[in-house]
Amino acid sequence: MALLELNGVDAFYGRIQALRKVSIKVEKGEVVALIGSNGAGKTTTLRTISGLMHPGNGTVSFDGREITHTRPSKIVELGICQSPEGRRLFPRMTVGDNLVMGAYTRNDKGGIASDMDRVFALFPRLQERRTQIAGTLSGGEQQMLAMGRALMAKPKLMMLDEPSLGLAPILIETIFSIVREINAQGTTVLLVEQNAHKALEVANSAYVLETGVVVQSGTGRELLASEEVQKAYLGM
């Protein structure tokens, strides 16, 4: 059974339908990518999963449990954590406090401390800037912090929304190698990206969204080789 499963999900913003019958499966231990252009419904999909909005029709289930109408705070407790689009850090809290906020739903002090060490091992820059307020970090550092914060919840599934947005190419490399590293350490990753090439390289499987509909799916490699994907998203 898949760790996360969306089944025929419709989602609406008022009267506008943003998702039509979206069905997605994320198996445990995988990196799954959602690619598509602006307005395709990628972020909406993530918001539906994390409970920030609820689907009009269809179901979302996670770890054998239906979470279609569960509160966001409860969903975090169940093990889904999101690094949201635009990072959405707490700009006037320190780097350290931002990370502590990530572990908000947890009570195990020892576990939190060791996860903090783990985050600092992945992102040494964050350790250097621990007492600095997050709003004063550079773009790349902010992305690292957003990912570190999501990791602090010790999620079974980590959702990353456009981690490469607005970053220099060299930083994008770093970010994606860290995504691989996080996955290798045992966290399942659902990745939303406009940078289709990079995303498909790291993804075990991937879905292509267009105007709220899944138009194509397959393994990362299959989609990289697919002619339509190449034309539409890889600029070849």
Partner 1 sequence: MSQRAAGGSGSILARFRLRERIRDRDQAVYGILIIAAVLFPLVTIYATDGTALVSQATRAGYFVLLAIGLNVVVGFAGLLDLGYAAFFAIGAYTYALLASPQLASSPAHHAVHLPFWLMLFVAMFVAAAAGAILGFPTLRLRGDYLAIVTLGFGEIVPQLFYNFDQWTGGINAVGIIDQPVLPAWIQGPWSGDGPVQIVRSFNFGGDPVAFYVLICILIAAAVILVSNLYRSRLGRAWMAIREDEVAAAAMGINTVTTKLLAFGIGASFSGFAGAYYAADVSLVSPDSFLFIVSITVLVMVVLGGMGNISGVIVGALVLYYVVFYLIPGLPENVTNLANSIGLSSETTHSLADATQHLNYIIYGAILVAMMLLRPQGLLPSRIREQELKHAAVQEEEAAVEMEHAT
What token pair was written down for 21? 């019958």
Contact between residue 83 and residue 98 where contact means Cβ atoms under 8 Å apart: no
Q: How far is the CB of 129 from partner 1 (least distance, A)?
A: 8
Q: Which is nearer to partner 1, 173 or 228 (CB)?
A: 173
What token pair was written down for 109? 């002090």
Q: Pick the stretch among 101-109, 172-180, 201-209, 214-222 that binds partner 1 (CB under 8 A).
A: 101-109
Q: Give the total of residues touching partner 1 (CB under 8 A).
A: 34
Of 28, 69, 88, 231, which one interacts with partner 1 (CB under 8 A)? 88
Q: Which is nearer to partner 1, 145 or 203 (CB)?
A: 145
Residues within window 196-225 making contact with partner 1, judged by CB under 8 A: none
Q: Which is nearer to partner 1, 27 or 85 (CB)?
A: 85
Q: How far is the CB of 112 from partner 1 (least distance, A)?
A: 12
Contact between residue 202 and residue 193 where contact means Cβ atoms under 8 Å apart: no
Q: How far is the CB of 197 from partner 1 (least distance, A)?
A: 28
Q: How far is the CB of 104 from partner 1 (least distance, A)?
A: 5
Q: Pick the stretch among 18-26, 36-44, 93-101, 115-123 that binds partner 1 (CB under 8 A).
A: 93-101
Long-range contacts (CB closer than 8 Å, 24 or more residues apart) made by 63-66: 63/3, 63/4, 63/156, 64/1
Q: How far apart are CA 65 and CA 72, in angstroms?
A: 15
Residues within window 128-167 making contact with partner 1, judged by CB under 8 A: 128-133, 135-136, 149, 153
Q: By CB under 8 A, is residue 122 in contact with partner 1?
A: no
Q: By CB under 8 A, is residue 60 in contact with partner 1?
A: no
What token pair was written down for 39? 């307005």
Q: By CB under 8 A, is residue 231 in contact with partner 1?
A: no
Q: How far is the CB of 201 from partner 1 (least distance, A)?
A: 27
Strands 31-35 and 188-193, sheet pairing? parallel
Chain residues binding partner 1 by CB under 8 A are 50, 52, 71-73, 75-77, 81-82, 84, 88-94, 97, 100-102, 104-105, 128-133, 135-136, 149, 153
